[in-house]
Amino acid sequence: PTVDFELTVNGAPQRVTGAWVGENLLFVLRERLGFTAVKDGCGEGECGACTVLMEGRPTTACLVPAVAATGLAIETPEVHAVPQPDPVAAALAVHAGAGCGFCLPGIGMEMRALLAHNGKPSAAAIRETLSGHRCRCLPPERFIAATRDAAK
């Protein structure tokens, strides 16, 4: 069966029509609504590439039925570019720009959520927070440094 519903993405309403009832939020955000900064990695909740914020909480969009996100505030990595690059995006560019970049949108969302609750996170707290994100290019120290810079 198909369903029609509305999502709130980065503060704006987004109408979804004719979606399969089981379509996940990752697919709907990327393929139906064009939020392609959300990355499709493992599709199984293991890599963190698809992380978005739902009501401020980091959530792997590949594991959430899109229809279940109705009425919740969803933030995607596109928020880092509007209206201009914010501290998280700027810090990632400086400290993690040498990598392939695939994991950065999800890590950026995680950093954003962490810094919203903890303005001066310790290295251990950052490492623990980002432990669910797979980066194949760079050591965790890069992301610890980026998070600390974004917090300044």
**Could you give the CA distance from residue 73 to residue 135 in angstroms, rounded to a whole number?**
27
Chain contacts with ligand FES (rule: CB under 6 A): 40-43, 45-50, 60, 62
Least CB distance from residue 25 to ligand FES, whole Å? 10
Least CB distance from residue 61 to ligand FES, whole Å? 6
Please identify, using beta-carbon distances, which residue of 43 and 140 lies nearer to ligand FES: 43
Please identify, using beta-carbon distances, which residue of 7 and 52 lies nearer to ligand FES: 52
User: Taking a C-beta distance cutoff of 8 angstroms, is the pair 45, 9 a contact?
Assistant: no
Least CB distance from residue 58 to ligand FES, whole Å? 11
Please identify, using beta-carbon distances, which residue of 57 and 120 lies nearer to ligand FES: 57
| Chain residue at closest Cβ approach to ligand FES | 62
Least CB distance from residue 13 to ligand FES, whole Å? 24
Please identify, using beta-carbon distances, which residue of 87 and 101 lies nearer to ligand FES: 101
Give every CB contact of residue 21 below 8 A, 6+ residues apart in sequence. Answer: 1, 2, 3, 65, 67
Least CB distance from residue 152 to ligand FES, whole Å? 29
Please identify, using beta-carbon distances, which residue of 60 and 147 lies nearer to ligand FES: 60
What is the residue type of 43? G
